[in-house]
Structure 1
């Protein structure tokens, strides 16, 4: 794996040890960013179920100002930190070990709002739409925020969800990408957007 484009283009990224993490391939990553960018002028990204941190790091490399990385696995957190250091992105990132639900509650308390969200839960979990609804309710999304939902290709989320509209849906082998644009009213905090554990 590597950073595909931007200021850290070509930098190699470490994989999480073991077989429990399914990283987004460079091919899929490049396709995703060709759909949503490919480059950005500031803004804040949230990489939930971050794994290696590859998607959030790619967003930083392509111009996002800040990114928050969340994962439950200690080995993933170590890998994210190593990849941020290797790409020179540490100062623009926050990394927290927590589950998704508790992390969103913690981010709500901090008044955060994100322009770009990566949701790549384990394929056995079909609750991407519930997490999106939670982000809406908690005011964690900036106006016109884009949500990149990665899931297995034989499962399909609805074209429309309350507050969201699906703008693209593409399949890459066993992986599918559903892109949603946030159309709700809540904007949380700074739409352009403490190295402790997010949680309590």
Structure 2
């Protein structure tokens, strides 16, 4: 694994030893960032199931101002810190060991909001939709934020729900990626209608 492009291009990344982590391959990572970037003019990113931190680090390398990395595994946190140091990006990052839902509540209390979110939960967990709704209700997403949801390709998430609309979807073997756009304005009310009226 390595950083594909940007300021830390070519830097090797450590993987998490002796665990069932499933780091996003370089091939998938390159395709993913060509869809959502490929480069960024600032902004804040959240890598919620960070694993090695590869996705958040790639986002920083490609121009994000800062990134928050969350994982509940101690070994993953150690690897994320090591990879940030190796890429020289540790001054742009915050790293926390926490459960995903608890972490979201803690971030909301700080008034943090993100422009880009990576959600790569273990494939056995099919709760990406719930986590995205939680982020919306906690006001953790800026207008037009991008949420990248990685999951098992045999599973299907809805094309739209709540304030999220799927912009792109791609499949790479057993891995599927859906890219959602967040709209924090009430778009369900047509011009001239009163909010709260029937759809």
Per the normalisation by structure 2, the TM-score is 0.92
Please say if 1:117 is aligned against 2:117. Answer: yes
Does the CA contact (< 8 Å) of 2:68 and 2:95 recur in 1?
yes
Q: Which residue of 2 aligns with 1:195?
A: none
Superposed displacement of residue 18, structure 1: 1.0
Distance 2:161 2:122 in 1: 21
Tell me which residue corresponds to 1:98.
Answer: 98
Partner of 1:137: 137
Query: What secondary structure is seen at the aligned counterpart in 1 of 2:20?
Result: coil
Structure 1 portions without partners, runs of 5+ = 187-200
The yes-or-no answer on 1:167 pairing with 2:167 is yes
1:17-166 map, 5 Å = 17-166=17-166
Whole-angstrom distance in 2 between the partners of 1:46 and 1:164: 17
Q: 1:41, 1:6 → 2: CA distance?
A: 12
User: What is the CA RMSD across the aligned residues, in angstroms?
Assistant: 0.8
Runs of 4+ aligned residues of structure 1 deviating over 4 Å after TM superposition are: none
> 1-side partners of 2:87 and 2:108: how far apart?
28
Offset of residue 19 of structure 1? 3.3
CA shift for structure 1 position 183: 1.1
- 2-side partners of 1:12 and 1:165: how far apart? 34
Counterpart-to-counterpart distance in 1, 2:129 and 2:184: 14
Matched, 1:183 2:189: no
Deviation, 1:50, is 0.3
- Asked if the contact 2:40/2:62 (under 8 Å) is kept, the reply is yes
> What is the total number of aligned residue pairs between the two structures?
186
User: Matches of 1:10 and 1:156 in 2, distance apart?
Assistant: 34
Shift of 1:84: 0.0
Partner secondary structure for residue 30 of structure 2 = helix
Q: Measure, in 1, the Cα distance between the counterparts of 2:164 and 2:101.
A: 19
Tell me the CA shift for residue 179 of structure 1.
0.4
- The one-character-per-residue Cα deviations of 1:144-194 (angstroms, maximum 9, x if unpaired) are 0000000011111000011000000100001000000001239xxxxxxxx
